């Protein structure tokens, strides 16, 4: 079946390339982002070790929320690196800044208010861009990916981490908050990225590494 290459609405919900776009978690549910046991589901420290985040890198955390991943990334890039933490909800970023200050690592985290169509990143600024459980909520993927393509350095990497829709036994998670490997590959490759590596070392999530073309 042919799907439009642009976002569209049907029955009051947003779609892109046949995929139902997930609804955004409101800021007053931010406790879910730091819920007990999340580390045992997603293994963030193991993930970042696999991805070889190095000191001095400029890393963008898209949909950073209250800093679950941004704070870890800030420690990895060190005092000479930067984490550009973006979110569409200023309230999330306010809590992120507070969490970073309490952890003593606010010096290299830059909060950035973004939108569904623009992450507000400077051109050619990022060595590494990561989207963890957030891309599926973007209502304008082509516009967002266009901006990320511009922000990524020529040899940079963009990493998509999403819960697997292929795992049908995960009945406790809405289908619109998961993605298949084929769907993710289709959407990114239609927006000038090339899939370079698939990592299936996490128990529940795809880790897909793309380069710009």
What's domain 15-212's architecture? 3-Layer(aba) Sandwich (3.40)
Cα–chain-centroid distance for residue 65?
A: 10
Q: Which residue has the higher pLDDT, 64 or 38?
A: 64
Q: Would the pLDDT of 4 be above 80?
A: no
pTM: 0.93
Instruction: Write out the E strands in 45-183.
Output: 58-62, 82-87, 109-113, 126-132, 152-163
Quick one: tokens of 173? 């998670």
Can you read off the two tokens belonging to residue 202?
């996490």
**Span 66-80, pLDDT tens digits:** 999 999 999 999 999
Note the pLDDT of residue 34: 78
Ranges of each domain in the chain? 15-212
* Each residue's pLDDT tens digit, 175-190: 889 999 999 999 999 9
pLDDT tens figures, 133-167: 999 999 999 999 999 999 999 999 999 999 999 98
| pLDDT above 60 (res 1) | no
What pLDDT, on the 0 to 100 scale, is given for residue 88? Answer: 97
For 195, the 3-state DSSP assignment is strand
């Amino acid at each position: 079946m042919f799907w439009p290459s642009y976002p569209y609405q049907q029955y009051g919900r947003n779609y892109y390339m046949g995929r139902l776009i997930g609804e955004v978690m409101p800021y007053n549910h931010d406790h879910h982002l730091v819920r007990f046991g999340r580390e045992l589901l997603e293994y963030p420290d193991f993930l970042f070790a696999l991805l070889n985040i190095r000191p001095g890198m400029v890393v963008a955390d898209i949909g950073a929320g209250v800093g679950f991943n941004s704070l870890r990334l800030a420690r990895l890039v060190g005092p000479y690196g930067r984490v550009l933490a973006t979110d569409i909800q200023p309230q999330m970023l306010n809590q992120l800044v507070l969490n970073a200050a309490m952890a003593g690592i606010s010096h290299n985290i830059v909060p950035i208010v973004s939108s569904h169509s623009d992450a507000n990143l400077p051109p050619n600024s990022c060595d590494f861009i990561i989207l963890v459980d957030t891309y599926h909520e973007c209502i304008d993927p082509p516009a967002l990916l266009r901006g990320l393509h511009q922000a990524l350095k020529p040899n940079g990497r963009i990493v998509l981490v999403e819960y697997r829709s292929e795992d049908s036994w995960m009945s406790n998670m809405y289908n619109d908050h998961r993605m298949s490997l084929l769907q993710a590959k289709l959407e990114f490759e239609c927006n000038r990225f090339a899939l370079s590596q698939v990592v299936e070392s996490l128990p529940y999530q795809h880790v897909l590494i793309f380069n710009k073309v």
